[in-house]
Amino acid sequence: NAGVTQTPKFQVLKTGQSMTLQCAQDMNHEYMSWYRQDPGMGLRLIHYSVGAGITDQGEVPNGYNVSRSTTEDFPLRLLSAAPSQTSVYFCASSYSYDPRLAGAGGELFFGEGSRLTVL
């Protein structure tokens, strides 16, 4: 099993450009999410999905779009890149998400990250 695969690993953009970060998992996980990691800020949730066709906003959703057309894929789109979006992005998935179950969605499998620089 490949687990969670993210592409690209590195990307440099100019302000105003758009791009898509790809995320795919082969574990048949229902729950998928995108985080960004910045020095001194910890991991912050951008968007998440509890299943195909269902997405919702996290803590820092502005400037990002997501869609979930299949269980396996959860791409993150930057509509018009800004220097504030320079960060390392992580996709993560979990076997299930049900807020009624303690711990559900907390045992995340992370990809290796995509380092994005916006000039």
Partner 1 sequence: EDQVTQSPEALRLQEGESSSLNCSYTVSGLRGLFWYRQDPGKGPEFLFTLYSAGEEKEKERLKATLTKKESFLHITAPKPEDSATYLCAVQAGGSSNTGKLIFGQGTTLQVKP
- Region of 41 please: left (phi>0), alpha (psi -120 to 50) or beta: alpha
36 or 118: CB nearest partner 1: 36
Q: Is 94 exposed, middle or buried (0-12, 13-18, 19+ CB in 10 A)?
A: buried
Whether the ω angle into residue 8 lies within 30 degrees of 0, i.e. cis, is yes
Q: How far is the CB of 34 from partner 1 (least distance, A)?
A: 12
28 or 99: CB nearest partner 1: 99
64 or 90: CB nearest partner 1: 90
The tokens describing 91, both together, are 């996709």
Q: How far is the CB of 80 from partner 1 (least distance, A)?
A: 26
79 or 101: CB nearest partner 1: 101
Q: How far is the CB of 78 from partner 1 (least distance, A)?
A: 19
Contacts of residue 101, defined as CB under 8 A and 6 or more positions apart, other chains included, come to none
Site of interaction with partner 1 (CB under 8 A): 4, 35, 40-45, 48, 56, 58-59, 90, 92, 97-99, 102-113
